[in-house]
Structure 1
Amino acid sequence: MLHSYNVQLMLFLLTAAAVNVPFGYLRRGYRKLSRPWARCLYVPILINIAMRRLMGFSYEVIPLVVTAVLIGQAAGGALRTTRMVAEHSGARRREAGEAGGADAAED
């Protein structure tokens, strides 16, 4: 049976990962090591520190929190990359369709 501490910890880690997804998404759009890129890392760290303290977790959970943060950042970055690839391939298909339509009209 799960103890309430374990359930609280799991909910906290899921929340920490979820909070980092939008920041990872935004971070992927900035030049590496730029000021906005760094803010996308540091702001969620401060949020996670505040959440950890408010929920009463000790320093012992920090390695788990760091792992959750990295997973959230990676997931957000992957979402942005996937979306950019999908938009790019969609634009290529539209361009090919327009070119094909123009050729078909000339014949």
Structure 2
Amino acid sequence: MELNLLFAALSTFILNVPFGFIRQGFKKFSVMWFVCIHAPIPFVILFRHLFGLGFQLYTYPIMVSAFFLGQFAGKKIRIRRNTKKSLAEELQSEEIKKDQL
């Protein structure tokens, strides 16, 4: 049973990373922001059913943690990607300015 809980939590985490990535692009508390948070919930319920977890109370902290950690990881990946992109653009514009002088 514990191995099934681990696999369900890992599946939940992996499922939520892209949703957290997408969610970071929307204004906080907008409709699409809420959709990105709530869209994976039916899949998490499906994972609970497929892995035979049922709805025992001890599984909730692990599954909820996996859910929000996946969202958080996706958000951080997007922030890091945007930061790297903006730094690269800034360096490129500085090189162009130097070449013009």
List, as ranges, runs of 4+ consecutive aligned residues in structure 1 with deviation greater than 2 Å: none
Q: Where in structure 2 are there 5+ consecutive unaligned residues?
A: none
Q: Where in structure 1 are there 5+ consecutive unaligned residues?
A: none
Q: Distance in 2 between matches of 1:46 and 1:35?
A: 18
Query: Rg larger in 1 or in 2?
Result: 1
Q: Counterpart of 1:96 in 2: which secondary structure?
A: helix
- 8 Å CA contact retained: 2:11, 2:47: no
Q: Distance in 1 between matches of 2:87 and 2:67?
A: 30
Cα RMSD (Å): 0.9
Q: 1:39 aligns with which of 35, 39, 51?
A: 35
Does structure 1 residue 30 correspond to structure 2 residue 32?
no
Q: 2:82 aligns with which of 61, 81, 84?
A: 84
Q: Distance in 2 between matches of 1:67 and 1:13?
A: 8
Percent of aligned positions with the same letter in both sequences? 28
**How far 1:41 sits from its partner (Å)?**
0.6
**How far 1:48 sits from its partner (Å)?**
0.3
> Does 1 or 2 have the higher relative contact order (CA < 8 Å, sep 6+)?
2
- 8 Å CA contact retained: 2:5, 2:51: no
TM-score when normalising by structure 2 = 0.93
Does structure 1 residue 48 correspond to structure 2 residue 44?
yes
Q: Distance in 1 between matches of 2:98 and 2:82?
A: 24
Q: Give the letter for the 1:90 counterpart.
A: A
TM-score when normalising by structure 1 = 0.88
